[in-house]
Amino acid sequence: MRTVNTAADLDPATPVIVGVGQASERIGEPGYEGLGEADLAARAVTAALRDALPGPGGVDPAELAQRVDTVAAVRSFEKSSPASYSPFGRPDNMPRAVASRTGMDPRRAVEEVTGGQSPQHLITEFCGEIAAGRCEVAVLFGAEVMSTVRRAQRAGEQLDFTEHSDGALEDRGYGIAGLTSIEEVRHGVVIPISQYSVAENARRHRLGLSARDYALSMGEWFAPMTTVAAANPHSAAPHEWTAEELATVGEQNRRVSVPYPRRLVARDQVNQAAAVVLTSVGAARAAGIPAERWVFLHGHADTREKPLLARPDLADGPASVAAVREALAMADAGIDDIACFDVYSCFPIAVSHVCDDLGLAPDDPRGLTATGGLPYFGGPGNNYSMHGVAEIVERVRRAPGTRGLVAANGGIMSKYSVGVYSTSPAPWRHSTSDDVQRALDAVADVPVTRYPEGPATIESFVVIDPDGAAPGATVVGRLPDGSRFLAAVAPDDADLLELLTGDADPIGTPVYARSTAQRNLVTRTRAEMDRRLPRLEPRLAESYEHLEVRRDGHLLEVTINRPESRNALSPLTNAELDSVFDAYFADPDLWVAILTGAGDRAFSSGNDLSASATAGTLEVPANGFAGITSRRSMPKPVIAAVNGYALGGGLEAALACHVVVADETASFGLPEVRVGLAAAAGGLVRLPRRIPSAVAHDMILTGRRLDAQEAAAHGLVSRIAPAGGVLDTARAVAQEIVAGSPVAVRASLAAMADADGEPDTAAAVAASMSVLDAVLVSQDTREGIAAFLEKRPPRWTGR
């Protein structure tokens, strides 16, 4: 590494922060204007440009603005996820909207992904761009006006922040994959307060503290931050609190969850903006920016944590600690060499889990925040750490040669970006985060069970609005096999709710789990579970709302009866099919089943998206789509009689069947990618195994359809029926199956299923010999041999 002693020794391409700026307004205070995001951000950018040139001798800030070639915006909360929206509209190109207000005409405009790590990540990225010569002057900014928006909504006012800007925009999208999961959506553990509560309660258990003592410990982490916030003119809540006041629940500090009182969670009702100006050393010199304004990025790191449910320890975030240590190592510094910190502080564990490992105490005299922390200074969405950087830059300028550290967090301790700053000249150092990330990724995930059944223990939990009329509680549990699951607690389960909301630690308590299509449920005992969710004996009902079910001797015919929706499957349809197939597989007198669709237009067009949207959840039985795509065992044959379309989930249901016969007019396809979905009910796995992979990939990636003849040619279909005759053909196939021994048929199905998991053909053949163990001792084998010798049809019993 090249040693740099003075600014004169620096490579002209060395990146440097030359300006920082902040802007804010509080409702009800003098000068409040109710600015939109673009206007408030423009004020922060203007402040940052002026900060770079505070006195005479350099170019005018307006001239510096004209030299900006890159503008990057932190994504605001109004467009941070598919569920977010802008109630009063917004600029369609935020970087250029702000640029036009501040005299900038950049060649490149970027909107970053979602996450509180974004400000630090952008600084690191564009420092690298400057060092590589691809950029000379960059302005990074972000803004939130959530307080103004909510005030207007409450008052019934109509604001208009819509705005069009010409020019290219590099929109990087949400970037939120891995921050939540289907299981968390199903069980309501989606918003940050729920997810962080799970982590926080796990940490409380590790420390062995009662609810009251742990609340006080959280208050001790945050109380010093309120002192900083009280002195910060940009704070949303400039008030000083003691640890006791933060921890004590009362009318002004209600419990929003277990374990959080309101004063211990991030405050998002803010109007705040911040900006940073980056240049190369050469550009800073050319602009006449004084060297005493320069701040260098001595160390940096970016890491990503495993998804919450996959983490070996719910209370830990090793990626965060690894990022801090790597940034310090790059800066040739230890934790004791840092003079000031701004550690991301949306919730107490976001601070404590990092500080625990680094040996930092809540009362460290250097302080853990430079702004005042997210609950008190304010949590301006993804842009909070831009304010942290601005404050740290100011501090190291006031104490030249010292170092400051910014730790920026995104998601649930999910994405972590760290920067070490100082006025001491330092060369640009390339990222070493990839090696760190590989080591983090090498740690094994905890397996997740989507549909748990049986005894378990509580690993962690959350209760939202615990003192309200209908508290919402979710348990993270562990099954005896070590897998993890989520399960809800019934709102009227007073016994379990009392355990979760009381002062004693409930983690480690035995519970019982059971699944439904809607969600999993957990109770204290199996007896209580059986009372709430009794397991009924599988049997056919007299009638169904979405099905026609016909029994003919040993044959069961199941018809999806929703022709008006092309036999699409709603949550109710799935539930009815699941029940019917449970009954079919349990009934010894039913030997073969046919699944088809009503009418001549469709076997099934897949998932009924409108019905699923109305239900508001992903309601699929544990046995999968149509009650069969995820069954671990299909011990009896099922024939798919495809009449018309078999699309999406319809094709996936057909693929789960043992035999597929098709009307000559049938059509097969997986169009999920065309509506932003994926064939996750077996299509991604079964189709490439059933037909040539090149054709399967074509169908999956483009939505291409196969007609019946193509499907047969590729081995997807075994027989083609004349138009309108597919059910007759399926019945003929069923009779051919019934003509064979049920014992032999079922043993053959089981042996073929076992062979699917054995890639070695010789080993699979050897293993398949065990099929004879069941067959040779059956009554059917004796009957079959006797019938052959006596030259008569066998009379099978299925035993």
Retrieve residue 220's tokens. 């001790």
Sorting pLDDT into bands at 50, 70 and 90, what band is 1? very low
Retrieve residue 327's tokens. 């940034």
pLDDT for residue 88 is more than 80: yes
Cα–Cα distances in angstroms (integers) from residue 590 to residues 540, 580, 749, 797, in the given order: 11, 12, 16, 11
Sorting pLDDT into bands at 50, 70 and 90, what band is 293? very high
Check: CB of residue 779 under 8 Å from CB of residue 785.
Answer: no
pLDDT for residue 3 is more than 80: no
Both 428 and 492 in a single domain?
no
pLDDT for residue 101 is more than 80: yes
What pLDDT is attached to residue 54?
81
Both 318 and 434 in a single domain?
yes
Sorting pLDDT into bands at 50, 70 and 90, what band is 504? very high
Both 710 and 773 in a single domain?
no
In a domain, 767, yes or no: yes
Sorting pLDDT into bands at 50, 70 and 90, what band is 266? very high
d(CA 597, CA 564): 11
Cα–Cα distances in angstroms (integers) from residue 288 to residues 17, 282, 294, 401, in the given order: 14, 10, 12, 22
Phi, psi at 16, each rounded to 5°: -155, 140
- Annotated catalytic residue 652: yes
Catalytic residue among 498, 652, 664, 790: 652
Both 528 and 624 in a single domain?
no
Q: What's the average model confidence in pLDDT over 726-730?
A: 97
Both 695 and 715 in a single domain?
yes
What pLDDT is attached to residue 676?
87
Both 318 and 429 in a single domain?
yes
Tokens 């962690």 -> residue: 460
In a domain, 146, yes or no: yes
d(CA 559, CA 536): 23
Retrieve residue 115's tokens. 């996450």
Check: CB of residue 255 under 8 Å from CB of residue 502.
Answer: no
Both 436 and 468 in a single domain?
no
Number of domains, the chain: 4
Q: What's the average model confidence in pLDDT over 703-715?
A: 97
- Tell me how crowded residue 715 is: count the other CB atoms within 10 A of its CB: 12
Beta bridge partners of 464: 257, 472
d(CA 166, CA 155): 33
In a domain, 202, yes or no: no
In a domain, 38, yes or no: yes
Check which CATH number belongs to the domain holding 470 and give it.
Answer: 2.40.50.840
Check: CB of residue 348 under 8 Å from CB of residue 199.
Answer: no
Catalytic residue among 672, 710, 736, 783: 672
What's the pTM?
Answer: 0.91
Both 463 and 373 in a single domain?
no
> To 10 degrees, what angle do helices 318-330 and 433-441 make?
160
pLDDT for residue 351 is more than 60: yes
Retrieve residue 646's tokens. 């078999």
> What percent of the chain is predicted at pLDDT more than 70?
98
Report the SS3 class of residue 662. strand
Q: What is the dihedral of CA 215, 216, 218, 222, to 10 degrees?
A: 140
Check which CATH number belongs to the domain holding 593 and give it.
Answer: 3.90.226.10
Q: Which of 44-58, 64-78, 140-154, 569-583 has the lowest mean pLDDT?
A: 44-58
Report the SS3 class of residue 187. coil
Of 479, 500, 532, the domain-final residue:
532
Of the candidates 454, 463, 459, 457, the residue with the CA atom closest to the CA atom of residue 488? 463
Both 732 and 747 in a single domain?
no
Q: What angle (nearest 5°) sits at the alpha carbon of residue 35, between those of residues 159 and 145?
A: 90
Q: What's the average model confidence in pLDDT over 333-354?
A: 98
Who's near 56: CB < 8 A, 6+ residues apart? Answer: none
In a domain, 216, yes or no: no
What pLDDT is attached to residue 612?
61
What pLDDT is attached to residue 613?
55
Both 746 and 732 in a single domain?
no
Q: What's the average model confidence in pLDDT over 238-260?
A: 96
Check which CATH number belongs to the domain holding 363 and give it.
Answer: 3.40.47.10
Q: What's the average model confidence in pLDDT over 135-143?
A: 98
In a domain, 1, yes or no: no
Q: What's the average model confidence in pLDDT over 630-642?
A: 95
Who's near 215: CB < 8 A, 6+ residues apart? Answer: 247, 248, 259, 261, 264
In a domain, 201, yes or no: no
Retrieve residue 477's tokens. 């549990």
Of 509, 532, 555, the domain-final residue:
532
pLDDT for residue 420 is more than 50: yes
In a domain, 325, yes or no: yes
Sorting pLDDT into bands at 50, 70 and 90, what band is 83? confident
Sorting pLDDT into bands at 50, 70 and 90, what band is 333? very high
Check: CB of residue 555 under 8 Å from CB of residue 637.
Answer: no
d(CA 29, CA 39): 18
d(CA 366, CA 338): 9
Domain that holds residue 780: 742-790
Retrieve residue 42's tokens. 């423009």
What pLDDT is attached to residue 188?
92
Scanning 242-347, the segments in alpha helix (DSSP H) are: 243-247, 281-286, 318-330
Both 689 and 748 in a single domain?
no
pLDDT for residue 164 is more than 90: yes
Of the candidates 534, 532, 551, 606, the residue with the CA atom closest to the CA atom of residue 574? 606
Strand order in the sheet with 403-410: 296-304, 415-422, 403-410, 340-343
d(CA 25, CA 420): 29
What pLDDT is attached to residue 2?
46
pLDDT for residue 297 is more than 80: yes
Both 759 and 721 in a single domain?
no
Scanning 620-725, the segments in alpha helix (DSSP H) are: 649-656, 683-690, 693-702, 708-713
